[in-house]
Amino acid sequence: MKVPEDILAFQPEVGLVLGSGLGFFADDRIEVEGRLPYAGIEGFPVSTVPGHAGQFVYGRLNGKRVLCMQGRFHYYEGYSMEQVTLPVRLMHQVGIKNLVLTNAAGGIDPDLNPGDFMLLRDHINFLGTNPLIGDRSEDGPRFPDMSAVYDPGLRTKLKDWAAGQSVDLKEGVYLATTGPSFETPAEIRAFATLGADAVGMSTVPEAIVARKLGLRVLGISCITNAAAGISQGPLTHEEVSVTAEQVRPQFADLLAAAVSFC
């Protein structure tokens, strides 16, 4: 993969991946120095999901040089795991050491309500595959340890900040499914038994590859809906965008703080 020269010259320090309905952060908070559509990068996929602009945005935030994915790729779009995680490998190649992953998720834990934020303590890979299958690169170990995917030090700093700002930041386990169908009530009950607090269709492949490459990872879910069997009505993608818009300023403050600790 040929790394874009303008991003390489920018020398970004922190990588951000903005999930469904959360792309506004790049425009609201980053002092933008450049944009690069995915379509302009040789061999790169393009985003096909509403709410994913499909471009890199790079600039400065809280004194940090940030490279932001305004829209990600998902396995359910028909892309391979290699394609889904290609941006993380690019970020590693341009020198990024810290990666902040965000997503929109459905709340399984009854204490999680739409509009809440959940710091990822751990994850469950329910995708039926792994992005490292067939990976023989020498960038990191063949069998990377996953004991602490989400960096304990970064999590502690963000939790302390949230407590000081009276921000109700929950913490829990995120489970990833392939999608694109939402889960059934029976599946949600099973996931709760497995120890999952929230469910979504992303993040886990990127986190796995990031850890193999030695990046420090922080994960934040925006709980945009109650999961099937818990919600009072049918689930829709539009609900995800509406809830994300309602918590726009609070999410921006939280994510800006996360970047400052990286």
- Binding site feature residues: 20, 52, 72-74, 104, 183, 202, 225
Taking the alpha carbons at both ends of the chain, their separation in whole angstroms is: 26
Catalytic site includes residue 77:
yes
Catalytic site includes residue 201:
yes
**Residue 140 DSSP code:** S
Cβ atoms 115, 223 nearer than 8 A: yes
Q: Catalytic one among 62, 76, 80, 171?
A: 76
- Binding site feature residues for phosphate: 20, 52, 72-74, 104, 202
Catalytic site includes residue 91:
no
Q: Catalytic one among 38, 47, 77, 176?
A: 77
**3-state SS record for 63-83:** CEEEEEEECCCCHHHCCCHHH
Q: Catalytic one among 62, 190, 237, 256?
A: 237
Quick one: CA dihedral 132, 134, 139, 141, positive or negative? positive
The amino acid occupying position 95 is G
Q: Catalytic one among 69, 118, 201, 258?
A: 201
Q: Catalytic one among 26, 38, 52, 244?
A: 52
Catalytic site includes residue 52:
yes
Catalytic site includes residue 74:
yes
Catalytic site includes residue 92:
no
Cβ atoms 52, 20 nearer than 8 A: yes
Give rounded-to-5 percent helix, strand, coil for the chain: 30, 25, 40
- Close Cβ partners of 156 (under 8 Å, ≥ 6 residues apart): none
**Tokens of residue 137, six digits:** 């690169």
Catalytic site includes residue 20:
yes
Spatial separation of the C-alpha atoms in residues 1 and 20, rounded to whole Å? 26
Q: Please name which of 232, 176, 181, 235 lies closest in space to residue 206, comparing C-alpha atoms.
A: 176
Q: Catalytic one among 104, 118, 210, 244?
A: 104
Q: Catalytic one among 13, 26, 38, 74?
A: 74
Residues in the chain, how many? 262
- Binding site feature residues for a purine D-ribonucleoside: 183, 225
Catalytic site includes residue 146:
no
Spatial separation of the C-alpha atoms in residues 85 and 129, rounded to whole Å? 13
Name the residues annotated as catalytic: 20, 52, 74, 76-77, 104, 201-202, 225, 237
